[in-house]
Structure 1
């Protein structure tokens, strides 16, 4: 009888990775679960969620009869993800640390660790799929449109993806919960974690202020009218509506962040959702990254300017070592530092960082 394939599964303590473990075991893989410790500070209530999540990993592994380990990537995380997060905010941009965490930690540091254990594969509880075709590995969206996480994997290279299994990629969230109940897993009803892992449920602005210097400044309209005072440019992102603190002015419609003037420390706002200053018909992306192969340009595709954005039709072309992206329809809230992810149907082609 041939030896079963070994897989090292990244377990977070949530229902998705718990069900991934159960499915892999059912398929006959020799599963080893590994809890990645990337961050261990307490939240505002004095709770270290990493410690609680680890206990859930232990419980599920005992329920399934699989081995588990902890690996500490805190140093790598601070160097490769957290420092990037802070430097981007210092430049007045809005980064996506979850994309960087996948690129640098889960599919680099973790993959290296797993390969040292002579694993055949790594596995993750992401809602995504891979397709092996013509000696290539393609990244596909997850079947569950509401949970699809291909956006966050858009800067993971093909070699890493070729060694990765996504056991729940073909399932919808409600099906995953049912599978967890079928296996009597203790995480079956655990609520999904929200927000960036190192911030969790705590106050985002307060967290930023503890690491970065910020000072108050003026708020101006796109027409040059002084409207009030902002609390520090790092607290705002392009397209933001809540928390600007201007009311009862002009037409009475809400204000949205249109731009940030770092030199003058000014927040530029536009009134009304239909204000043309909030919309862009094109953008430049830096650091283009293509997962499987560089496409032929000009490239007609769809893309998402942030995780929860809808797919928009666009044309991508090369501009020196960057990309110029022209949208079929003007898009609101195109934000420097965010990731613009490109798709051909269900295939995730790659991404660029909005400049």
Structure 2
């Protein structure tokens, strides 16, 4: 299979490929090599060696760095390992912890893509005189009217566009996504056809720097005060009990509240870390009428009517953007939390997105 990298003369081009050690980025490198261009693999080391060797099944970990180097050797391409540990800690891990400590729901993958994975890697690729940087993301770059657009991946089950909303127009001109039109089974088939040992390697399921899924454990180690107990307060003002630390909860969560004797299931509706309060209520209390979005990044036109996606696994829903930064849903939306991203689409095309700073409950629509 020959993938078009949108290069005028591939045989005279240089492509840098971001290689995490997984099957997706490995196949991206293999497809780049098939163009006849000079291909250079670049892998990020985001942990110190002592920690990295313990981590497997994430990206940018000890075993994964080794896997990336083996794939590069098999493909006959140059391979660099870049030590971005300090940048990753300050730009992603520390912000992740701070967001949790402030009762918000962070998205570290979006932060990582906006920082070390795109900003720094693109700078590295340009320093090498590359014509583009290719990644294994499941998104499509489509040139229309002489301008690059970012679209959802053809396989919607694998689409990663939500995490790439912060991509700038200048970055998109330089980026290539060779897997955008491929389903995952086809990617694994190509890997097996090429004979890559990572063809059957499992996908990572958790945040890369928390491979065991224990987010609370990480936050507690850095911000121990988040484990302090506090009141569980119903939205009607009743104190229902005591929680074991706000670090264990996010908005929309049902499990772990541990308050019995209620007429209906309770969900986390809000978190007040300053008062160490966990605010809970019935599911209808999670209904949100509008969100205030900050730090918008636009790849497309600044449209008023959009389809808005507010969680990575949610479907985009109709919404209207106001000039003051508020976005109002056509119908109440559930499970919306400050700290997450709000990403606007027009069909499959990603228009832009930003961070959710504030929400308005559906029963307080008039107050928005």
Global fold match (TM > 0.5): yes
Equivalent runs, 1:181-200 vs 2, <5 Å: 181-200=192-211
Instruction: Label 1:311 to 1:262 Cα distance change in 2 as closer, same or farther (>3 A).
Output: same
Q: Secondary structure at the match of 2:259?
A: coil
Tell me if structure 2 keeps the 8 A contact 1:216–1:232.
Answer: yes
Q: 1:281 aligns with which of 280, 286, 289?
A: 289
1:10 matches 2:18: yes
Tell me if structure 1 keeps the 8 A contact 2:23–2:188.
Answer: yes
Tell me if structure 2 keeps the 8 A contact 1:136–1:292.
Answer: no
Uncovered stretches (5+) of structure 1, i.e. residues with no partner: none
Could you say which residue in structure 2 is the equivalent of 1:205?
Answer: 216
Q: CA deviation at 1:41?
A: 7.0
Q: Secondary structure at the match of 2:12?
A: coil
Structural RMSD (CA): 1.8
Tell me if structure 2 keeps the 8 A contact 1:128–1:166.
Answer: yes
Distance 2:86 2:330 in 1: 43
Could you say which residue in structure 2 is the equivalent of 1:309?
Answer: 314
Distance 1:181 1:307 in 2: 29
Distance 1:2 1:22 in 2: 14
Question: After superposition, what is the alpha-carbon deviation per residue over 1:284-341, rounded to whole angstroms, capped at 9, x for unaligned?
Answer: 1111111244x14xx111111111111111111220xxx1111111011110010011
Q: 1:48 aligns with which of 48, 55, 58?
A: 55
Instruction: Could you list the structure 1 runs, at least 4 aligned residues long, displaced by more than 6 angstroms after superposition.
Output: none
Instruction: Label 1:313 to 1:41 Cα distance change in 2 as closer, same or farther (>3 A).
Output: farther
Tell me if structure 1 keeps the 8 A contact 2:11–2:37.
Answer: no
Q: 2:190 aligns with which of 179, 182, 191?
A: 179
Tell me if structure 1 keeps the 8 A contact 2:132–2:174.
Answer: yes
Could you say which residue in structure 2 is the equivalent of 1:138?
Answer: 149
Q: CA deviation at 1:3?
A: 4.6
Tell me if structure 1 keeps the 8 A contact 2:39–2:78.
Answer: yes
Tell me if structure 1 keeps the 8 A contact 2:53–2:63.
Answer: no
Distance 2:267 2:298 in 1: 33
Q: CA deviation at 1:111?
A: 0.6
Could you say which residue in structure 2 is the equivalent of 1:88?
Answer: 99
In the alignment of these two chains, the number of paired residues is 343
Q: CA deviation at 1:266?
A: 1.0
Q: CA deviation at 1:38?
A: 1.8
Could you say which residue in structure 2 is the equivalent of 1:111?
Answer: 122
Q: Secondary structure at the match of 2:115?
A: helix
Distance 1:40 1:243 in 2: 34
Q: 1:155 aligns with which of 166, 171, 174?
A: 166
Could you say which residue in structure 1 is the equivalent of 2:328?
Answer: 326
Give 1 or 2: higher helix fraction: 2
Q: Secondary structure at the match of 2:254?
A: coil
**TM superposition score normalised by structure 1:** 0.92
Tell me if structure 1 keeps the 8 A contact 2:246–2:271.
Answer: yes
Could you say which residue in structure 2 is the equivalent of 1:347?
Answer: 349
Uncovered stretches (5+) of structure 2, i.e. residues with no partner: 1-8, 358-368
